[in-house]
Amino acid sequence: MNPSEFANINKQLENLNADPELETAVFAGGCFWCTESAFQELEGVEEAVSGYAGGEEENPTYQQVVGHQTGHREALKVYYYPEEISYQELLNAFWNSIDPTDDGGQYADRGFNYTTAIFYNSEEEQKLAEESLKALEESEKYDKPIATKIEPFTTFYPAEDFHQDFYKHSAERYKIYKNGSGRK
């Protein structure tokens, strides 16, 4: 992997991580192109970074992840201002952007790397995530059981620069993909 492919995103992450008012949340919602756009537009979200979470391979590449070689899921690290948007509101946005009953991926994207998960950073996030999952189950909105996992956060690696803000810099391609995937 060419280190320059990560240059822009690494600089951006340095700046985000330096802001003490920002908190982070990590979600795997299938294709990160689609979940990134859903979170990026929320008031109070400073940035949603596409990447890979939960696997064991250090610094995985897109090809490794989609080739099922790393144990990572495509995921987002959401940087947000908690005084403007709560973790609970992020959870609601997450549930509304996925099919939580699909245990084989999301829409046309199949395989473990496209399965859904909430990666909690604290006991409070775990509690809120579990409560939101329980509320979703009790709502009887779905005929099938909820398949989304709630797991402790372990790792997150940003995806290559090309994948960041894909819905903006490749808008036409993104629109075709999203419409064809069944997610829309």
Positions annotated as catalytic residues are: 31
Report the amino acid identity of residue 48.
Answer: A
Neighbours of 63 (CB within 10 A): 10
Contact yes or no for 30/98 (Cβ under 8 A): yes
Determine the Cα–Cα distance for residues 27 and 90; give it in Å rounded to an integer: 9
Determine the Cα–Cα distance for residues 48 and 71; give it in Å rounded to an integer: 21
Q: Please give the structure tokens belonging to residue 118.
A: 């909430």
SS3 138: helix
Determine the Cα–Cα distance for residues 63 and 118; give it in Å rounded to an integer: 23
SS3 184: coil
Neighbours of 37 (CB within 10 A): 17
Dihedral of alpha carbons 94, 99, 103, 109, sign: negative
Contact yes or no for 78/27 (Cβ under 8 A): yes
